[in-house]
Amino acid sequence: MERIIFLIDMQSFYASVEKLYYSHLQHKPTAVAGDPSIRSGVILAACPVAKREGVKTAETLSQAQQKCPALVVIPPRMELYLKISVQIAAALEAYTDKIEPYSVDELFADMTHTYRHTASTPEQAALFINRHLLRAFGVYPRIGIGPTKVLAKMACDHFAKKSEEGIFTLSQDQLASTLWPLPVNHLFGVGRRMEKHLRQMGIRKAGHLAAYPVEELRHRFGLNGELLWQTAHGIDPSPVSPGTHTHRKAVGHHMTLPRDYSSWDDIRVVLRELSEEVGRRARVEGFSGWTVTVGAEGRDNERPFHFHRQAAQAAPINDGKALYKAAASLFLKHWNFYPVRGLSLSLQQLESDQSVQLDLFSEKEYREDLNRTIDTLKERYGPAAVLQASSLLPGGQALTRAEKIGGHYK
């Protein structure tokens, strides 16, 4: 039996939620954006009224205001959006028990065996869900339907969002007439760098990639080349898995900095904060990890640079001090002294922290007792209850970020 997968996307989710709370903005151009005084002054969501004025997601606040001087700008409330997202997922469980969150405002739903409980066709079931979520939450969903997750995603992104009812079905036998005429960067997984490589090979449309010999794509791009070829053909055997996000492959954290950090004295403060946060999260979830990965992004004379490097550890770790030691060594080895705008740190190759490797000459037992105490204090009194003294230096971000979720104020 061919599967029936829905990708349910909430239109202008953040802005739609805010309009529920500020009803006087219902017909005004409204956008949710970060603080313009720091680097996060970017449009996170724009309502349809603002979009008609040319406002786009991810552009700077100043660009948006030039296009739409009457734009009403609201700071994000991430805690509220997450709460409503969870409520929407719970509401969808009335239609199927196979719900997989893809992002804050997107969910996959496997309706193969359940859509007939609601309607005679998948499209009618999607329309019923649209009306339900609009009445219950005041948000307008768009739904892409397909036999695979990747086709449902592309059906939503490229067709449902442009249709009057916000629903579109993309089946295997429609690919030649619908998906393949689109530019190649419309394929899921094709970013700017990959698009550039593909265009150099004469691959400009999705259909060109579908017709390209898969062996040559695999030879040039490895498994990713074959995966892109499969995407162009709508091949995606991955199931809709409610537990996908509970089986951790890594614990990581990324921080966009409020200014360019050029000195090691500033950078190491943030690296230490990242190390403490990643270590705390790993411990809370009961993990240790064998591999530490450090990433950095920045610009030199408007040319972007970035690196991501990893190093295996002699034993699995989840202690902030050990993480920082590994992260600092990696960073200093690969940093080219360019100003840094973003830093990331992750702990990979996870295993249960119940497995203990004995070491007579380490301070492991003392550090574990200390970490348990600190974790308890932070859980009870908040993330800023206990901080490294270095976080009080000018480069520190821990105090500010303690008031935020996902880099934005709660």
**What is the CATH number for 62?**
3.40.1170.60
Tokens at residue 78, please?
């991430």
Please report whether residue 173 resides in a domain. Answer: no
Amino acid identity, position 182:
L
Beta carbons of 308 and 294 less than 8 angstroms apart: yes
What is the arithmetic mean of pLDDT over 246-254? 73
What is the arithmetic mean of pLDDT over 31-41? 69
Q: Which sign does the torsion angle of CA 12, 13, 17, 18 carry? A: negative
What is the arithmetic mean of pLDDT over 384-396? 71
| Cα 243 to Cα 146, 246, 396, distances in angstroms | 21, 5, 35
Q: Can you give the pLDDT at residue 69?
A: 93
Domain C-terminal end among 78, 113, 133: 78
- Max CA separation in the chain (angstroms): 69
Please report whether residue 222 resides in a domain. Answer: no
**Cα–Cα distance measured from residue 43 to residue 38, given in angstroms and rounded to the nearest whole number:** 13
pLDDT tens sequence across 71-94: 999 988 888 888 899 899 999 998
Of the residues 53, 93, 100, 106, only one is catalytic, namely 106
**Cα–Cα distance measured from residue 251 to residue 291, given in angstroms and rounded to the nearest whole number:** 11
Please report whether residue 165 resides in a domain. Answer: no
pLDDT over 80 (residue 408): no
Percent of the chain at pLDDT above 90? 50
pLDDT over 80 (residue 391): no
Confidence grade of residue 397 (pLDDT, cut at 50, 70, 90): confident
Element (H, E) at 232: helix 223-232
Domain C-terminal end among 33, 54, 78: 78
Domain around 17: 13-78
Please report whether residue 141 resides in a domain. Answer: no
pLDDT over 50 (residue 248): yes
Q: What is the DSSP letter of 177?
A: T
Is 9 annotated in a binding site? The answer is yes
User: In angstroms, how far is CA 89 from the centroid of its own chain?
Assistant: 17
Confidence grade of residue 283 (pLDDT, cut at 50, 70, 90): confident
What is the arithmetic mean of pLDDT over 288-313? 81
Domain C-terminal end among 78, 98, 116: 78
Q: Which sign does the torsion angle of CA 10, 12, 18, 21 carry? A: negative
At 389 the three-state DSSP class reads: helix
* Known active-site residue 106: yes
**Beta carbons within 8 Å of 353's beta carbon, 6+ residues apart:** 282, 283, 286, 287, 288, 316, 318
Closest listed residue to residue 35, CA positions, set 312, 258, 325, 313: 258
pLDDT over 60 (residue 274): yes
More confident of the two residues 403 and 139: 139
What is the arithmetic mean of pLDDT over 378-387? 71
Please report whether residue 143 resides in a domain. Answer: no
Please report whether residue 297 resides in a domain. Answer: yes
Q: What percent of the chain is helix, strand and coil (3-state, nearest 5)? A: 45, 25, 35
- The bridge status of strand 167-169 relative to strand 141-146 is parallel
Q: Can you give the pLDDT at residue 39?
A: 47
Q: Which class for 200: exposed (0-12), middle (13-18), buried (19 or more C-beta within 10 A)?
A: exposed
CATH number at residue 354: 3.30.1490.100
pLDDT over 70 (residue 214): yes
**Beta carbons within 8 Å of 2's beta carbon, 6+ residues apart:** 112, 147
Q: Can you give the pLDDT at residue 377?
A: 72
Residue with the two structure tokens 């239109």: 11
Please report whether residue 243 resides in a domain. Answer: no
Element (H, E) at 36: none
pLDDT over 60 (residue 361): no
pLDDT over 90 (residue 297): no
User: In angstroms, how far is CA 344 from the centroid of its own chain?
Assistant: 14
What is the arithmetic mean of pLDDT over 373-400? 71
Closest listed residue to residue 259, CA positions, set 358, 82, 397, 380: 397
- Give 213-218's long-range contacts (Cβ < 8 A, gap of 24+): none
Please report whether residue 241 resides in a domain. Answer: no
The count of domains in the chain is 2
